[in-house]
Amino acid sequence: MDSGTASLNIVMVASECSPYAKSGGLADVLGALPKALVSLGHRVAVVLPRYMGALQVPAERINTRLPVELGGWRFDPAVCRFEADGVTYFLVEHQGLYERNGLYGDQNGEFGDNHLRFGLLCRAALEISRLYFPADIFHCHDWQAGLVPLYLKAFGGHPDPMLAAAKTVMTIHNMGYRGIFPKAKMPELSLPGWLYRADLVEFWGNISLLKAGLVYADAITTVSPTYAREIQTPDGGFGLDGLLRAKSKVVTGILNGVDYGVWNPETDTYLPAHYSVWDLSGKAECKRELLRQLGLPEAAMDRPVLGIVSRFADQKGFDLIGQVAWQLFQDDVYLAVLGSGAPYDGLFRGLRDQYPNRVGLRVGYDEQLAHRIEAGSDIFLMPSRYEPCGLNQMYSLRYGTVPVVRAVGGLEDTVQSWPPEQSTGFKFSDYTGQAFLDTVRAAVRAWSDREAWRRMMVRGMNKDFSWQAAAAGYARLYSALHPFRSGRL
Ligand code: ADP
Ligand code: GLC
């Protein structure tokens, strides 16, 4: 056990968890942090919806009708349980609400009943804890888990003594998603009208479920120290910066980690060849195979390939590439792109049509190709408008794929661009096509000095962002919330 901390029971509540349900980095965090906490001696459970994609998971149905009421209706989901790597997983099963294509929406847009889908998740998590896994801490991730602190604390303490004593941690993975719903949905979530106040759940004429979590949580974290500062400013706070400033004493940034069991070029089973700092030759083979897979010319072997793996969300800043594409391609570089969603799918399709020999594109979700782009590219691009943490730049560092990033959030905290003899990547600050182009060009010039470039790759590959440090940070936070149990006082 970590010195000064006692073993605690942690219940995590989230809408994604790798490998069972993933749309982005949230799933990677839920796939790794619980295991890392278990290895520090804590007991950890994860409560998730059982989406269509998780139906194959071999889990025991431990309850066929968990009594859960929401807005006067009985939802009574089933509960399935399984264990992996010492972590207990509870899947909340409700055919009508969860068994669909897509986690949050489909080709017709966001599902209209997401408030119910995740309201039920929060209510069910409390019941599951009461019956099967007593919690010292509820660790709630993003708006989908935001009602847990509210249901626990808003009504003068929970009648169940275990739940009444539990503390709550709310982790913000992305301020861009605040779980905003019309005020009229409040009764469906069992939220009485008095909660509709500017200092409670009201948000510009609607309600915000993230705000509900932030208001009632005992501690608030986000996924990098720089993002913890940015969200307390009008630019980064998406309208919740005032609340976060008011609670700034309980706001901290804990940098995400990398699961090197999954993201490691020495062992990655998705790759056609393996490599390490000792022998980089396999990386060239990964590049050759990537070019073949994306239909890019063999000539690109002698030029830099710029990789992108991303949700195509506005946050990711790819309009900067659109602005300078014609100048970028004058430099004889190649793009290997994998992504899904809107709005940038159109931009990349357009670039592929305009520069068919330069742009290899796959639109969709493809786990194998994500790993292959990390391994087979020379440079990795993340020009994000904002980036709470970002995992791909950390994966890139480990794969010897030098990141070019905008100096925001976790990108600022994980990529070092100065002094040159210690640098692991390239950064720019101004959100302009010119700043982005200048920085990519600097990277392309640096790539030409093959020996200096190899040293930069190796510096990045030797960086250690494993989950241990992050897990220890969360463990310290949990025990600070339970000073008597942790034996610190
Ligand atoms: P975000 O959570 O904002 O999407 P991160 O960098 O934290 O950004 O994490 C993204 C995760 O999702 C990475 O594991 C990345 O490989 C994965 N990913 C994103 N888009 C795709 C895709 N189209 N196919 C496969 N994996 C993807
Ligand atoms: C979010 C953020 C990303 C972060 C991830 C995991 O989706 O956009 O920056 O790495 O959550 O915390």
- Could you give the CA distance from residue 171 to residue 45 in angstroms, rounded to a whole number? 16
d(CA 144, CA 195): 18
What is the DSSP track for 413-477? HH----SGGG--SEEE-S-SHHHHHHHHHHHHHHHHSHHHHHHHHHHHHT---BHHHHHHHHHHH
pLDDT at 373: 98
Asked whether the beta carbons of 14 and 451 are under 8 A apart, the reply is no
Q: What is the mean pLDDT of the chain?
A: 96
Which protein residues are within 6 Å of ligand 2, measured from CB? 24-26, 29, 173-174, 223, 256, 387-391, 410
Instruction: Read off the pLDDT band of 466 (50, 70, 90).
Output: very high
Tokens read off for 308:
């992108």
In a domain, 140, yes or no: yes
- For the sheet with 137-141, list strands across it: 60-63, 78-84, 87-93, 43-49, 9-13, 137-141, 167-172, 219-222, 251-253
Contact residues for 464 (Cβ-Cβ < 8 A; gap 6+): none
Mark whether 242 and 316 lie in a shared domain: no
Q: Are 63 and 92 in contact (CB under 8 A)?
A: no
Instruction: Compute, in angstroms, the gap from residue 321 CA to the centroid of ligand 2.
Output: 21
pLDDT score recorded for residue 180: 98
Q: Which domain holds residue 307?
A: 281-463
Residue 409 Cα to ligand 2 midpoint, Å, equals: 10
Cα of 24 from ligand 2 centre, angstroms? 7
Q: How far is the CA of 387 from the centre of ligand 2 (A)?
A: 7
In angstroms, what is the span from residue 25 Cα to ligand 1's centroid? 5
Could you give the number of structural domains in the chain? 2
Neighbours of 469 (CB within 10 A): 13
* pLDDT band per the 50, 70, 90 thresholds, residue 3: very low
Both 126 and 103 in a single domain?
yes
Identity (one letter) of the amino acid at 359?
V
Q: What is the pLDDT of residue 398?
A: 98
Same domain, 453 and 477: no
Same domain, 33 and 65: yes
Whether residues 196 and 51 fall in one domain = yes
CATH number of 316's domain: 3.40.50.2000
Phi–psi pair at 479, nearest 5 degrees: -70, -30
Q: What are phi and psi of 202, to 5 degrees?
A: -65, 140
Q: Is the domain of 285 the same as that of 348?
A: yes
Say how many Å lie between the CA of residue 18 and the centre of ligand 1. Answer: 11
Ligand 2 center from residue 175 Cα (angstroms): 10
Instruction: Please check whether residue 63 lies inside any domain of the structure.
Output: yes
- Which pLDDT belongs to residue 485? 66
Top mutation candidate among 17, 26, 28, 380 for ligand 1, by most atoms within 8 Å of CB = 28
pLDDT band at 194 (very low <50, low <70, confident <90, very high): very high
pLDDT tens-digit map of 231-253: 999 999 999 999 999 999 999 99
Atom of ligand 1 nearest to the CA of 338: 23
| 235 exposure class (CB count in 10 Å sphere: 0-12, 13-18, 19+) | exposed
Tokens of 14: 């989230």
DSSP string, 139-188: EEESGGGTHHHHHHHTTSS-SSHHHHH-EEEEEES-TT---EEEGGGGGG
Q: What is the pLDDT of residue 6?
A: 80
Count CB neighbours of 4 within 10 A.
Answer: 12
Q: Residues near 404 by Cβ (< 8 Å), separated by ≥ 6? A: 306, 379, 380, 381, 382, 383, 425, 426, 427, 428, 439, 440, 443
Which helix (H) or strand (E) segment holds residue 93: the answer is strand 87-93
426 pLDDT tier (thresholds 50, 70, 90): very high
Q: Quick check: 488 pLDDT over 80?
A: no
Tell me the percentage of the chain whose pLDDT exceeds 70: 98
Is residue 28, in this structure, part of any structural domain at all? Answer: yes
pLDDT band at 486 (very low <50, low <70, confident <90, very high): low
CA atoms within 13 A on the CB side of 436: 22
Q: What's the confidence (pLDDT) of residue 415? A: 98
Please report which ligand is nearest the Cα atom of 411.
2
Distance CA 137, CA 474 (A): 11
Which ligand 2 atom sits nearest the alpha carbon of residue 176?
Answer: 8
So what's the pLDDT on residue 54? 80
Identify the nearest ligand to the CA of 223 by its number. 2
Same domain, 233 and 183: yes
| Residue 483 pLDDT class (50, 70, 90 cuts) | confident
Query: What is residue 123's predicted lDDT score, i.e. its pLDDT?
Result: 98
What is the arithmetic mean of pLDDT over 57-63?
Answer: 94
Domain annotation covers residue 359: yes
Atom of ligand 1 nearest to the CA of 339: 23
Q: Is the pTM of this model over 0.85?
A: yes
**Co-location of 346 and 441 in the same domain:** yes
Q: What would the two tokens of residue 150 be?
A: 């509210």
Task: Spell out the residues 6+ positions from residue 481 whose beta carbon is closer than 8 angstroms to its own.
Answer: 137, 167, 169, 218, 219
**Atom 24 in ligand 1: residue holding the nearest Cα:** 365
pLDDT above 50: residue 487 = no
* pLDDT of 101: 87
User: pLDDT digits over 83-94, tens only?
Assistant: 999 999 999 999
Here the contacts of 428-436 (C-beta below 8 Å, separation 24 or greater) are 428/383, 428/404, 431/317, 431/320, 431/385, 431/406, 432/320, 433/320, 433/323, 433/324, 434/324, 436/320, 436/321, 436/323, 436/324, 436/383, 436/406
Whether the pLDDT of residue 4 is over 90: the answer is no
Distance CA 186, CA 196 (A): 9
Please state the rounded mean pLDDT for residues 340-346.
94
Residues with CB under 6 A from ligand 1: 24-26, 28, 309-311, 338-340, 365-367, 370, 389-392
Closest-CA residue to 256 (of 426, 23, 442, 33)? 33
Q: What is the mean pLDDT of residues 380-398?
A: 98
Q: Is there a domain that residue 144 lies in?
A: yes
Q: Has residue 354 been placed in a domain?
A: yes
* 471-482 tens-digit pLDDT: 999 999 999 999
Say if 275 falls within a structural domain.
no
Does residue 477 share a domain with residue 457? no
Q: What pLDDT score does 257 carry?
A: 97
- Whether 250 and 285 map to the same domain: the answer is no
Q: pLDDT (tens digit, 9 = 90+) per residue, 151-177?
A: 999 999 899 999 999 999 999 999 999
Q: In the numeric block, which tokens belong to residue 247?
A: 């609670």
Q: What is the model's pLDDT at position 57?
A: 86
Please identify, by atom number, the ligand 2 atom nearest to the C-alpha of residue 171: 12
Q: How many angstroms is it from 75 CA to the middle of ligand 2?
A: 31
CA pair distance 114, 314, nearest whole angstrom: 21
- The single-letter code of the amino acid at 68 is V
Within-domain flag for 25: yes
Q: Which of 54-58, 102-106, 307-311, 338-342 has the lowest mean pLDDT?
A: 54-58
**Within this chain, do residues 440 and 473 fall inside the same structural domain, yes or no?**
no
Ligand located closest to 386 CA: 2
Same domain, yes or no: 313 and 186: no
Residues facing 169 on adjacent strands: 139, 219
58 CA distance to ligand 2 middle (Å): 28
